[in-house]
Chain A
Amino acid sequence: MLLRTQHKSRLWAALAALTIGTTLLLLSVMIWWSFSELLYGKKQNDAMGSTYLVVGKRVTEQNMGQKNATIFTAQDIDSLGHAAQVQDVGVITSNHFPVYAMMGGRLAFATDLPLECVPDNFIDKMPAEWKWEPGNLNLPIIVSSQFLDIYNYVFAPSQGLPQLSEGSVKSLALNLKVGEGDRAETFSAHVVGFSDRIGSVLAPKSFIDYGNQKFGKAGVAEAPSQLIIKAKDPSDTKFGDYLVRHDYTTNSQNLRWSKIRAIVEVVTTATGILALLLMGIGTLVFILFIELTIARAQHALTLLLQIGYGPHYLSRFMIQRFLPIVLGTVIFSMAITIAGQAAASIAAQGQGLVLPMFPGWPVWAALVISTGILVLLVTKSISGAIKK
């Protein structure tokens, strides 16, 4: 009787507003959480989520030529490890022994080749062949992808040489002569991967340690002159200030990527705020609909009060009628969000990223909080309208 005065079209409109608002809110939290997962979450997504920077001490007019001026001490490394946004610090160890690379055939060349090594967890994609033990004459190496670009787009066209794909480079063998004189050893090096993080040629740490120990020049500092760091958000001004304060240099391209990521975050946050606004409007529309329904049933409510029905009983009755509608809407919105998360997870998989199939706790928290607020507002508005 109390609900007979409802206009079905108005009910549907109010439901649509509430559903759109709730769904957008949950989806925006889901999107924000998914981005967070991709950017900062699982280890598998580190390549996307964190920025890897190679840091060195700036060579200036003042320190130029000074011994150890650009060397990182243990204290420096520890301090950098505690700097804002820094998640991990790795030492880049370079070779202190002569390495001479040669190749025959159409691509014949011979050059001194500096090698470096980084801890394995700083390598972009760990190749299966990435291991070396003393006595092994085959040496896996990882080359900066910039080298291949320079060769393909600068060197090869100017010299009339064929351009090379990553696959063809991997099939080439490079002769490395390590050490000097009678003690020199020859290895057959194969490119097993390309790195976007390191701008040089990487060899396994065991090989660099072996070479430095066996062929290293006495008196050459063993302390590193370059570090590689994994930073959460290098665009953070605190991090930038730290680098400036310590006069460190780094590759600025990565900082630009961080800014793009920061923009993505701003857009996500803005979407969240917009969704919150829409949910607010949706809730308002639904509550206005409830109050309109109660206002239209005012005559019946008054009669019921007069024959002995108490305000609490009537409020409870109305709440029991409207709450299932609210909860149904929330469940529907959550179902859409779960489907959205599953779709995002599948799409991420296609891109080689890992995203959970089910929404994370922030989405569930948003669901609980928004449902709680909705239930509270609906209950309060019904009780208030009936009291009036």
Chain B
Amino acid sequence: MQLSLQGIIPVPLAEKVNAYQSGMWKNNRTFNKGEYVFIQAPSGTGKTTLIHILYGLRKDYTGDAKWNNISLANTDNETLAGLRTNSVSVIFQDLRLFPELTAWENVDLKRRLTNTVSEQQANEWLTRLGLNEKKNSMGATLSYGEQQRVAIVRALVQPFEWLLMDEPFSHLDHANTQKAINLIGEVVKQHGAGMILADLDENNFFAYTQTVIL
């Protein structure tokens, strides 16, 4: 699956984009299957907006964002749901876990949609990220770092061609970041998928094929 952006200008950022003539906004970009893309940008320049546009959550922009030939701005929620279940997964910056569900329930809620990852595998991934003792803890009682790890596992328990990540390691220490990078790398490779990682600073977490500076 190919992700493409054609002359995108998000409405809330229109003034900024016009002022700075950003390298990302307004221009055409294409991300091909299997690419590892790093989007580097300081706060407030629209990393999260871009991830949301690419995931089909935001439609308040001019230009066109596409998954293959599907224009995201004109796609209904049912089609988007199908694509989000089988083709594109995401780790939100604000995580978007269910605080009233346990760590395991949060992961399982996503896993059950396709059942392509076994319960055992999902449990193993939680354990690998150091959450073995926290599986039955309510989301609301987990630390932000723990929640971030739950969100990472949740993003991996589905089939995908693209993994979108918005500052996924922002609250993890070095050891946990490394564990998460390893896990993500393995699973993405397993799927033959591409990834787009948006972060503040330059990093070498993955072997990027494209770096975009907003």
Contacts and interface: CB of A to CB of B under 8 A. Distances in A.
Interface of A: 1, 4, 300, 303-313, 387
Interface string B94-125: 00101011000000011001000000000000
Contacts of B44: none
A387 B81 CA distance: 13
Nearest to A303: B96
Given A306-B96, A311-B81, 14 more contacts: A300-B98, A303-B96, A303-B98, A304-B109, A305-B77, A305-B81, A306-B84, A307-B109, A308-B84, A309-B81, A310-B77, A310-B82, A311-B78, A313-B81
Contacts, number: 39
A312 B78 CA distance: 7
Interface residues of B, number: 17
B88 to A, nearest CB: 9
Nearest to A300: B98
A303 B78 CA distance: 14
B85 A308 contact: yes
Contacts of B57: 306
B122 to A, nearest CB: 14
Contacts of A304: 109
A308 B81 contact: yes
A310 B82 CA distance: 7
15 contacts: A1-B98, A1-B101, A300-B98, A303-B98, A307-B109, A307-B113, A307-B154, A308-B84, A308-B113, A308-B158, A309-B113, A310-B77, A310-B82, A311-B78, A387-B77
Nearest to A310: B81
Given A303-B96, A306-B96, A311 B101 contact: no
Contacts of A307: 84, 96, 109-110, 113, 154
Nearest to B109: A307
B120 to A, nearest CB: 21
B168 to A, nearest CB: 15
A312 B154 CA distance: 22
A308 B115 CA distance: 13
